[in-house]
Amino acid sequence: MSLRRVFVIAAVAATAVFANGCGFELRRTPELKFRTLQLRGFSDNSALARELKRSLAANHSTQVVEGGAAAQVVLEALSDTREKVVVASTAAGQVREVQLRIRFNFRLRSASGKELLPATEILVLRDMSYNESSALAKEQEEALLYTAMQNDIVAQVMRRLAAVAAP
């Protein structure tokens, strides 16, 4: 056996040993400790509520129910706001940079009214450059950033729900 071949075999074996013990695992939906959940306080066309329902449906252990009597826990949206703030502008008053914000306040209660998670605020920010000559492209970029921010909020809510003990 050549020295090069021995080196390659040793490198492959070492990589397999180290990769196996590094703790890498694909991200998956967190396991929730309750079977039914009701979403309350969201507007009818809330994109955040739709994304939460989709994420909970992917969980398979928790079902979203409409009636409060069938729910073990109630996730109540206190506020769900989107903001767009000008951060930088030129001397002529033209906007050069904006900050996009999604602010989500919620609390989690058991069906009996016991507070499982107190009122919690999640705030996600993204900065975006702006150029008036490419306004249409910037609108599309803004929509994509809001979608990514919303997905980030849903992931944070799911992790917080997973940390709650069963009622």
Q: Give me 146's structure tokens.
A: 């809001």
Q: Residue 14 has what pLDDT?
A: 66
Q: What is the pLDDT of residue 84?
A: 94
Retrieve residue 134's tokens: 């490419």
* Length of the chain (residues): 167
pLDDT value, residue 26: 61
Residues lower than pLDDT 50 in the chain: none
- The residue ranges of every structural domain in the chain are 28-162
What is the C-alpha separation between 165 and 83, in angstroms, rounded?
33
Q: Which residue type is seen at 111?
A: A
DSSP 32: P
> Could you tell me the pTM of the whole model?
0.78
CATH topology of domain 28-162: Double Stranded RNA Binding Domain (3.30.160)
